[in-house]
Structure 1
Amino acid sequence: MLKIILYSESWYEGKKVELTSACDNLGDYGMNNTVSSIKVEGEPWNVYEQADYKGASYVLHPGNYATWTAWGGENDKISSVKPAPSITLYEHANFAGKQLHLNKGCNFLGYEGMNDVVSSAKVARGDWIVYDGGNYNGESHTLTPGDYPIWTDWGGTNDRMSSVRPA
């Protein structure tokens, strides 16, 4: 289950708020700039130092973050959270062959052994922009949540995906 649990004190002490969906202002829960420890369950979450998903951000993978140093941020600085975007790319049509799961952009799929071989995709969360060139260049297409069993479903050219990023 997709969940983030926020605590006002280190080591999972103090006020506790559990969320299963995005929150653009933790002040709505009395937790704005008071988060000192976090537990993440299911899938990664993005946490932001300012409301409305602004300011410095961190991707927190499933696990426990007993103190703010565990995620590399500052104490009492988290103001908004949302589930990380999620896409899975597949080497062959109909979700077959090698696969690559991403929660953040990849400026060259060759680093993952997937340059110019992607033929299908599944978008779980967020909108994604796919490019036929590296470094987010070239022809692009936006994929919204859903399944794309063959490259023609997103209007691309066969096996011509070289970079991808959240929209």
Structure 2
Amino acid sequence: MSKIILFSDANFAGKKVELTSACEFLGTYGMNDTVSSIKVQWNVYEHANYKGQRHTLKPGNYPIWTDWGGANDQMSSVKPAPSITVYADANYCGKKLEFSTACGFLGDYGMNDTVSSAKVVGGVWIVYDDAYYRGASHTLRPGNYPMSSLRPA
């Protein structure tokens, strides 16, 4: 499961809060406008209720606010960033690709009509039978799907 770990001080020090789901107001955890370092793959927002400047953080560690382009002690809400990994074979095997944004044509990556399984880390994804968001669409659920394009919902 995807999680975000927030720290009140730089270099992963001070108060620590671990979250596995969205939080529209970090004050609930005593962390409103006090975050200085992060370990994550999530979207972080300057204001409560997912307002203000958004920063999408890729997997990794952010020992100080300048590493994610934010400002010290100015974070008030967080939620998982859309992320999906698609696999050429069933059971999460074979060639794999990771996406955090829409992909109109999986053929650009050599995987048109070859995806057989996927793992969603964050967000809800819509998959399509044909390229460029055409054909039948399906909300991704665990299982195997033929896909030619995808996007976060």
Same fold, judged at TM 0.5 (above): yes
Offset, 1:12: 2.7
The answer to whether residue 112 in structure 2 is matched with residue 115 in structure 1 is: yes
Offset, 1:63: 2.6
Match of 2:31 in 1: 31
Letter in 2 for 1:86: S
Match of 2:78 in 1: 81
Q: Which stretches in structure 1 are left out of the alignment for 5+ residues? A: 152-159
Match of 2:49 in 1: 52
Q: Which stretches in structure 2 are left out of the alignment for 5+ residues? A: none
Match of 2:142 in 1: 147
Q: Distance in 1 between matches of 2:74 and 2:103?
A: 27
Give the alignment's TM-score, normalised by structure 2. 0.76
Q: Which runs of 4+ in 1 moved over 6 A?
A: none
Comparing 22-31 and 86-95, the one that deviates more? 86-95
Give the alignment's TM-score, normalised by structure 1. 0.71
C-alpha spacing 1:76/1:25, structure 2 compared with 1 (3 Å): same
How many residues align? The count is: 152
Comparing 1-10 and 68-77, the one that deviates more? 1-10
Match of 1:128 in 2: 125
State the identity %. 59
Higher helix share: 1
Deviation sequence 1:48-94 (CA, Å, 0-9, x none): 22323333333323332111111122332322122333323233456
Aligned partners of 2:50 and 2:77 also within 8 Å: yes
Once superposed, what is the RMSD of the aligned Cα atoms? Answer: 2.8
Aligned partners of 1:122 and 1:148 also within 8 Å: no
Aligned partners of 2:46 and 2:76 also within 8 Å: yes
Q: Distance in 1 between matches of 2:145 and 2:91?
A: 6
Instruction: Give the one of 89, 97, 100 matched to 1:100.
Output: 97
